[in-house]
Structure 1
Amino acid sequence: MKRFLSLPLRSLLFLALSLFASACSSADEKQAQIKKFDKSTVEGERINSVRLLVGTRPITDIDYEDGSALVKLFRQGRATPKEVENFLIEKSIVDQVAEEESIVVSDERIDNEIKRRMEMAKETDEEAFKARIERETQVSFRLWKESLRYQMVRQQIVQIKVTIPQPDEKEVEKFYKQNAHRVGVELLFREIVFPVAPTIAAEREIDKRARQVHSQVSANPASFGDVARSLPENVSPFKAGGGIRLWIPIDDLAREDRVLAGMLYNLPQGAVSPVFRDSTNRYRIVLLEGKRPVSLEKIREMIRMQLFYDKADESFERWIEERKRNLVIRKPGEPQGK
């Protein structure tokens, strides 16, 4: 009887030991899975670890990678690691202030800005525009789009947080004098314009006539105005005034006709040009009567705007430095006190 009862007991004992071993094995596997999960999480954090804390906002490895590309759109030349870091700190401060002031740039607004820039670039295909942006900036379209958002946010912050002094008249005049060689030139000249020939035979006649007129005005440049006024073939809209064009900035003239602007730019004052074809394929002869720097009156507002933008950048930089002094900027693990 004892032996008979002892068999099931042994079986039960064996079963209990098996279950216990199985439970231990399951627990070990579960612990191993947890460790594996923890390890992958840690490794994931290591891949995108926090490099810097600006206040409570982290700047990570991925931020540094993006920042190294983004900074190309805001700084000239190759940026040093310190310049990238300063840019990321600036961007972090701007983003924090935007949150405090509830400044949000919607996707719709960014899309509208992209459409506006496509129109300026005379580009109708979105994919072609993206490829062009990436080719010209050497930055991904995603980051270029992020740069638009940042510029819009920064602009709003400047408007509400930064005081910008207005440039005064003395500053405008000083800038003009210091940059007279860079503001461009304006031209005073006379022109004779021949009509477009409808046929090859007519073109031969016009070419022949243009060379006859050129010989005449080259021999006596003082007669240019009278010839321009009386010449039947002259189709210039300024014919009645002897073909005179009064002090036009060369940039404006280039928008009208780049060939004409180029010819006049390289012509000595008082000289008559050779017969040449303009951008519309018409024969022209011009006499350059004067060349001078663009007058202050014509670019006063442009200079004022440039000075304002310069002051805005300077004021923004001072504002950023002030914000830095009132923020704890530290590496992870460093004490919070400065």
Structure 2
Amino acid sequence: MSDAAAFTDDGNAGTLRFSGSLSLAKLGDLPDRLAAYEGEAERLDLSGIQRIDTIGAWTIHRFAQKNGAAVEGLTPDGQHLFDQVVAADQPVRIRGEHVPAFQRVLGEVGDATVQAGKTLYGLLGFLGGTVLAFGAVVAHRRFRFNATVQQFEVVGVSALAIIGLMSFLIGIVIAQQGAVQLRQFGAEIYTINLVGRLSFRELGVLMTAIMVAGRSGSAFAAQIGTMKLTEEIDAMRTIGVSPMEALVVPRVLASTLMMILLGFYSALIGIIGGGLLCWLSLGIPPVTYIQQIREVVPISDVYIGLIKAPVFGAIIGMAGCFQGMQVEADAEQVGLRTTAAVVQGIFLVIVLDAFFAVFFSSAGWP
């Protein structure tokens, strides 16, 4: 075959001239003949070849490396391919270098710290972008009413059953554990104080925020992440629709407003659960229970819960949307970012709850 790969030694200072096609289909036994060649090879002239592919370039590279020969005569495209093959010829470790345990753990801690800093920086930037998008919606009257109402249903109405059940059971648990401990001092009546203040001030809004983060925050991340993966968000930008205004603002607004209602609803259901246990276990009638709740729970506790709720909702909504916007490359990222949205939302909610506790205590609302 005329285009079969071949080489000749012209006896001119160790120059080998190649001809034919240095491709997988035409190499034939050229690698074996090169391996058996025992003459001098200082220059490899490839100006006479018809074409060269990766296999041919690899064959020439190995022979040239073995004999210390220079490769000449390639076309610009062939030279580029040959250079890529040479650059890829790097030793690969089957087993990585042994790293001491302390150094490895220290490195992982450092990487996690750097990643946390980058995430916090990105979340702050996303907060600024959300505020600007909300301002643009208000200024240009581009409020998406239908999308926002739909998110109200997803975040709020659909969550009423699970949040109500959770709050009811938590109210029962608080009352039962409180009664067990207070009975030692003959102060079972103060179980009402415990249930009322904890439900309105802390656990009602906190447990609701955790539930919303696991339920709605993950949904936000998965929905937006899938849209990012299927290039729907890029298509929105192409037709002049802002993803921040169309996707992020309705979700953040819905989670912010619905958290106020869900937090108050959760506190009421928790008090009902605690009242049921007080009635059945301690013999406190519902009328006495309600009257005691009105006396021992200051209105400031209700205000504190209502102040914390929208902040928690905004954080959860932005964490979910932010992680969804970070999805890149493959479907695995959707799962990873969804998990990150839940973890990040719950972590920030707990940190902010601790901050609020210190702030309100300092402000004289113990």
Q: Give the TM-score, by structure 1 length.
A: 0.25
- Structure with the bigger RCO (C-alpha within 8 Å, sep 6+) is 1
Normalized per residue, the structure richer in strand is 1
Normalized per residue, the structure richer in helix is 2
Bigger radius of gyration, 1 or 2?
Answer: 1
Q: Give the TM-score, by structure 2 length.
A: 0.24
